[in-house]
Structure 1
């Protein structure tokens, strides 16, 4: 008889395929439940956030394109302006002008200055729960930043090339994307649990398992469960007959 090493687990891809196929309804149900949960969570438990962006052009109108020095200086100044936009004097002035009940740290967490690659454009973006206020914040930042930057750098004011816009739909959360992610996650989790439970189940279920684990060939199969079921049905019939006979005797 061959010795079987129980530390080794043989994975039969064909068996796993049929296992997944037999439990497909559970997997799909798990995906639907997770997708529904993600959709409900995104719709009712996450506060929508709206985005608005304004853009400043660093070089002044008097700058000529023939001046390479001015263009290079403009590129360097853009990086400096990104830091100045989040400076305390600028942020504090914006809060006072709009009459907001915010701290410096709260306002800094709302705005994000950025510089599109290979440009002299300074973009200021605000992410806030109120779309109207998000637009007002970036517009005020553009005005205050241009004035403060001109005073601090002793240069011309940057030109506002694009004012903020008010979004009609929130930029986050992305409900559709969250539903898809939730559904896929539910399918993978259910499949993983089913496969794991199958691999951990070392009970012998059929003749193939006997040959695989014990190295013994089965000669015949005895339908014990089927026979037991038949005997159980026959016992039930006999019990009903005895009960009926007793009732007839009592009636006599």
Structure 2
């Protein structure tokens, strides 16, 4: 897409707004740098205001979200069958079988009324890594998140015993009450505000320069009206 088309559109709009008056068109990198230096106070002020606004909004208006997790293990054998194995060793077939059982059991947990009734309006994710099942709970109240995760683990053991005639399940790690929220990230939001404020202030400065038709250096007259400059009366006051 040719960017000159967009420039012409904006140029025509400004021409209509300004009643057909001519404005400078030689916007170069050097001139942008000059504009930025001329309006550096405005740019810094607007950038800081935008950064502070994003930080305050993140700090006081976004609900903090907490997350905690508990872990279960699933085995496709019970303690009695395990003791019958050679030297009590666990073979690779046991690990793969336990992983398959854990994956199938997750599907059962996600569709069990006994489990889903414990969610308590929290965001619950149940995943497995091999034969380990991780229950992750997120919500606005840290204590509720920990309680929900632990209740799911306890109920999961009872459901497993009621539904499966083989294997066993146990708790590896109980959920702890999280000390700090995982979102919002106030520092990250403040940095986003800083970038947005910086970009917006620079664009506004360039826009103000474009619609500013006051004559500054003598090059402006030659550029705007295409007439030669023969003399200049200096401002002795400055």
TM-score (norm 2): 0.73
Where does the alignment leave 5 or more consecutive residues of structure 1 unmatched? 1-5, 96-101, 230-252
Which residue of structure 2 lines up, in the alignment, with residue 191 of structure 1? 202
The CA distance in 2 between the partners of 1:150 and 1:20, in whole Å, is: 71
TM-score (norm 1): 0.69
Which residue of structure 2 lines up, in the alignment, with residue 54 of structure 1? 70
Which residue of structure 2 lines up, in the alignment, with residue 73 of structure 1? 97
Contact map agreement 1:56 1:123 (CA 8 A) in 2: yes
After superposition, give the CA deviation of every residue in 1:139-161 in whole Å (9 maximum; x if it has no partner): 01111123223433433232211
What secondary structure sits across from 1:210 in the alignment?
helix
**More helix, by proportion:** 1
Out of 137, 149, 161, the position equivalent to 1:126 is 137
Contact map agreement 1:84 1:90 (CA 8 A) in 2: no
> Based on CA coordinates, which of the two structures has the bigger radius of gyration?
1
The CA distance in 1 between the partners of 2:146 and 2:171, in whole Å, is: 14
Q: Aligned in 2, Cα 1:57/1:88: closer, same or farther, shift over 3 Å?
A: closer
The CA distance in 1 between the partners of 2:113 and 2:46, in whole Å, is: 53
What secondary structure sits across from 1:52 in the alignment?
strand
Out of 147, 151, 161, the position equivalent to 1:136 is 147
What secondary structure sits across from 1:115 in the alignment?
strand
Q: Give aligned pairs, total.
A: 207
Report the Cα offset of residue 54 of structure 1. Answer: 0.2
Where does the alignment leave 5 or more consecutive residues of structure 2 unmatched? 1-6, 12-24, 83-88
Q: Aligned in 2, Cα 1:93/1:156: closer, same or farther, shift over 3 Å?
A: farther
Out of 194, 209, 216, the position equivalent to 2:220 is 209
The CA distance in 1 between the partners of 2:107 and 2:30, in whole Å, is: 60
Following TM superposition, the consecutive aligned residue runs of length 4 or more in structure 1 with deviations greater than 6 angstroms are none
Q: Does 1:220 align with 2:231?
A: yes
The CA distance in 2 between the partners of 1:81 and 1:197, in whole Å, is: 64
The CA distance in 1 between the partners of 2:225 and 2:166, in whole Å, is: 88
